A = this chain, B = another copy of it.
Amino acid sequence: PLQSKHDDRSLLFADLTQEEYLQVRQYMLRQKDLGISNSQLAKPSDNFLFLIELSLPKKVDALAYLDNKGSKPTREATVVVFHGARGYIREYVVGPLPNPKYYRDVTTERHKTELPINARTVTIGEYALLFQFFETEVFSKLERLMKESFNVDQQKKLNAFEQMPRGVRSGDRKTWVSFFRDMAGMYIHPVGFEVLVNHESLNASSWKVERLLYNGQYFDTVEDLKQKYDSDSLKKIVYKESPDYGSLKPRNKPTEIGPQLFYPKGRRYSVRKNHVLYMDWSFAFGLSSLTGMRVFDVRFRDERIAYEISVQEAMSVYGSVTPGMIITKFLDSSIGIGRFAHELVRGVDCPYEATYVDTYRYIDVPVPVLFRNSICIFEHNTGQPLRRHFADFFHNSYGGMVNNALVFRTITAIGNYDYMWDFIFYQSGSVEAKVHATGYISSSYLVNDNRKHGHQVAEKVLGNIHTHFIHFKVDLDVLGVKNIFETKDMEYVNVSLPWMPDRYAMIPQLVEHQLKTEQEAALRYNTKTPRYLHIASNKNNRWGHHRSYRLQVFSFTGDHLPESQAEERAMSWARYKVAITKHKDTEQTSSSLYNQNNIWTPAVDFSKYIEDNESIEDEDLVAWVTTGFLHIPHAEDIPNTVTVGNGGGVLLRPHNYFDEDPSIHASDGVYISP
């Protein structure tokens, strides 16, 4: 039974409605001094309205409102404008919603510095120019090569996939673009042709090809390549039709229907607007176009457990011999993680019976866009007991309870990869944030049979080694915002046995520590860290122990990029398995929209949150959790990586938070006596 009621205060965290997006857009377009365009094909030299998003309220104001101690915070939007005409990026706060009356430039307030225009994400407008550039400056000049090597002609094209970062130093916007067969799953169909385009200039007519790679050979200009090709003074690629191994069409016809979930007595959870109730749980939800899904004001039995749990970043570092992936370091929140939360397919992505929620987004578009069924919510029968005991010796009996849990899910298909994001709410008071990867791997054309950077997965195709690092923000509030960070572990202590004092034995003992500063609590990779990590209150449970939630991290990450590398600061959060900081509204995210394209001077360097080494004793604490896995692609990644074994996450578990397991009060309990 639902233990609490829906509450419209959740709307504090609701994404903008279609109407709100339109109002904000119109208001900004009306500001003639800003000279903003919202054309889908705005040029880099235009002032382009790139993004409209909810601007989160200050936490102190939000809590006052939620806890009946303050009025409703003003609802505001963040607007990002790529001011191509002026050479910078600006962030504006616009409010109040739904009828804006003011805008305020918050760029330096939020980022302490100006945002150079080259830090911007490549827009659809810029892509259109890039594709046109390739057509006129590359393809049309290499007709014979294109036809003979790749069967490219007026009808048949190649597809492009770009390497990031775009260069090697601040100010660079030089992108290696690799070309792929125009087939399903093009990411695993590289043809062996890569082009370095310099598109630093805001004026596309100044763009130029700086280098080309063809069949493992480098050329300075298109003309150079053409001349050497025509004179047969290079190793040629001769076109060969490729099997359609990237297709996801089932090779066999469906013949049967597998097991299905059904709700014999209807749904046991409730979704109203952006508020969810499930058993003892309640929470508000949203979906940032940039960072992805998030929940707020997560409560169990009406007691707030977490203020925010959110996806922060998905980062990958690749290895290769060819430039198309040699220095690739993807920072997905700079493209937008939530942006790619597309429609979920019933019966595959989520159960048929799930509740599907529509969302609206405004990112790199002229009008707000509806994404139908882009969030799913369902109660899942995990097929195993949450707890059970069979007593055969004394008090012969059985007690147990099946593990039914609520799943909150989005899946974001960011180019080749699909990340499945789950927040799972268990009846034992645990919440889990989980990620799994599926979709297509990135690959490169196999040159000289060089397999130092991965495994061959198809004819002339190398699946490149890469890391997946995922970052979650976990702002637990355990009995209010004033918390401490405690660790627990075991150690063996040599102890004299009380009934035979001459005899010693090594006995496990509990070791507890409180870590009191941000730097102490920044738990680095490759260091031994305590096994139990707790965000705790100074208040005790009935048995005299600090009430706490434990963070249990599931992770298979590879090595983090060495700190010697200039690009590392843009992903410095990945240095830590877990880091604890003092909450600040100005430290809302661990990455930023600008980290990818200005990776050498990142707008957010997470390690700076820790540099001031603040006290984390009786403060509002935020836990930042890194998970992920090392991916050495193999033949079974063709056509798609499977979710099984390719994931990670963090489980937030009550640890002396309650006086007993709360699930003993659940209505799913079963008891059998002889």
The 8 Å CB contact of A388, one of B261, B349, B390, B458, is B349
Minimal beta-carbon separation of A203 from chain B (angstroms): 24
Q: Which residues of chain B are within 8 angstroms of A378 by Cβ–Cβ distance? A: 259, 383
Structural contact, A508 and B465, CB atoms closer than 8 A: yes
Which of A80-88, A246-254, A573-581, A602-610 interfaces with chain B? A246-254
Q: Which residues of chain B are within 8 angstroms of A668 by Cβ–Cβ distance? A: 254, 258
Q: Which residues of chain B are within 8 angstroms of A322 by Cβ–Cβ distance? A: 498
Q: Which residues of chain B are within 8 angstroms of A381 by Cβ–Cβ distance? A: 258-261, 351
CA distance A253 to B345 in the complex (A): 36
Structural contact, B543 and A456, CB atoms closer than 8 A: yes
A312 on interface, CB distance cutoff 8 Å? no
Structural contact, B262 and A262, CB atoms closer than 8 A: yes
The 8 Å CB contact of A438, one of B247, B389, B452, B455, is B389
Structural contact, A252 and B394, CB atoms closer than 8 A: no
Structural contact, A661 and B639, CB atoms closer than 8 A: yes
Proximity bits, A302-343, B CB within 8 Å = 1, else 0: 000000000000000111111100110000000000001011
Residue of B nearest to A394 (CB): B159
Residue among A467, A558, A644 with the highest chain B CB neighbour number at 10 A? A644
A391 on interface, CB distance cutoff 8 Å? yes
Structural contact, B499 and A418, CB atoms closer than 8 A: no
Proximity bits, A491-503, B CB within 8 Å = 1, else 0: 1100101111001
Residue of B nearest to A429 (CB): B636
Residue among A430, A497, A667 with the highest chain B CB neighbour number at 10 A? A667
Structural contact, A391 and B656, CB atoms closer than 8 A: no
Q: Which residues of chain B are within 8 angstroms of A184 by Cβ–Cβ distance? A: 391, 395, 397
Proximity bits, A416-428, B CB within 8 Å = 1, else 0: 0010101000101
Structural contact, A385 and B664, CB atoms closer than 8 A: no
Taking CB atoms and an 8 Å cut-off, the chain A residues in 437-472 that contact chain B are 438-440, 451-458, 465-467
A586 on interface, CB distance cutoff 8 Å? no
Structural contact, A345 and B248, CB atoms closer than 8 A: no
Structural contact, B644 and A509, CB atoms closer than 8 A: no
Q: Which residues of chain B are within 8 angstroms of A661 by Cβ–Cβ distance? A: 635-640, 642
A402 on interface, CB distance cutoff 8 Å? yes
Q: Which residues of chain B are within 8 angstroms of A426 by Cβ–Cβ distance? A: 642, 644
Minimal beta-carbon separation of A108 from chain B (angstroms): 32
Q: Which residues of chain B are within 8 angstroms of A248 by Cβ–Cβ distance? A: 389, 397-400, 664, 669, 671
A379 on interface, CB distance cutoff 8 Å? yes
Name the 7 nearest CB pairs between A and B, nearest first: A248-B399, A250-B669, A319-B508, A456-B543, A387-B640, A258-B404, A390-B413
Q: Which residues of chain B are within 8 angstroms of A1 by Cβ–Cβ distance? A: 255-256
Q: Which residues of chain B are within 8 angstroms of A543 by Cβ–Cβ distance? A: 455-458, 635
A390-B418, A635-B542 known; A562+B506 contact, CB < 8 A? yes
CA distance A482 to B398 in the complex (A): 47
Structural contact, B531 and A558, CB atoms closer than 8 A: yes
Structural contact, B664 and A639, CB atoms closer than 8 A: yes
A345-B670, A394-B186, A543-B455 known; A259+B404 contact, CB < 8 A? yes
Taking CB atoms and an 8 Å cut-off, the chain A residues in 498-545 that contact chain B are 498-500, 503, 505-510, 531-532, 541-545
Minimal beta-carbon separation of A570 from chain B (angstroms): 14
Structural contact, B348 and A385, CB atoms closer than 8 A: yes
Minimal beta-carbon separation of A372 from chain B (angstroms): 13
Which of A99-107, A225-233, A647-655 interfaces with chain B? A647-655
The 8 Å CB contact of A498, one of B254, B323, B662, is B323
CA distance A248 to B379 in the complex (A): 24
A643 on interface, CB distance cutoff 8 Å? yes
Give the oligomeric copy count: 2
Residue of B nearest to A558 (CB): B490
Structural contact, A467 and B561, CB atoms closer than 8 A: no
Structural contact, B262 and A630, CB atoms closer than 8 A: no
CA distance A121 to B348 in the complex (A): 50
Structural contact, A255 and B385, CB atoms closer than 8 A: no
A249-B399, A258-B668 known; A413+B385 contact, CB < 8 A? no
CA distance A256 to B267 in the complex (A): 10
Proximity bits, A166-209, B CB within 8 Å = 1, else 0: 00100000000000001111100000000010000000000000
Q: Which residues of chain B are within 8 angstroms of A265 by Cβ–Cβ distance? A: 256-257
Q: Please list 8 pairs of residues, one from A and one from B, whose beta carbons are closer than 8 Å in the complex, sorted by A's number.
A: A196-B499, A247-B399, A250-B665, A345-B398, A388-B411, A399-B639, A455-B656, A636-B653
Q: Which residues of chain B are within 8 angstroms of A556 by Cβ–Cβ distance? A: 531, 552
A384 on interface, CB distance cutoff 8 Å? yes
Structural contact, A488 and B632, CB atoms closer than 8 A: yes
The 8 Å CB contact of A658, one of B490, B562, B636, is B636
The 8 Å CB contact of A351, one of B383, B401, B506, is B383
Structural contact, A383 and B456, CB atoms closer than 8 A: no
Residue of B nearest to A440 (CB): B389
Structural contact, B347 and A509, CB atoms closer than 8 A: no
The 8 Å CB contact of A261, one of B260, B391, B395, B635, is B260
CA distance A560 to B28 in the complex (A): 64
CA distance A466 to B508 in the complex (A): 7
Minimal beta-carbon separation of A10 from chain B (angstroms): 24
Q: Which residues of chain B are within 8 angstroms of A665 by Cβ–Cβ distance? A: 250-252
Q: Which residues of chain B are within 8 angstroms of A654 by Cβ–Cβ distance? A: 634, 636
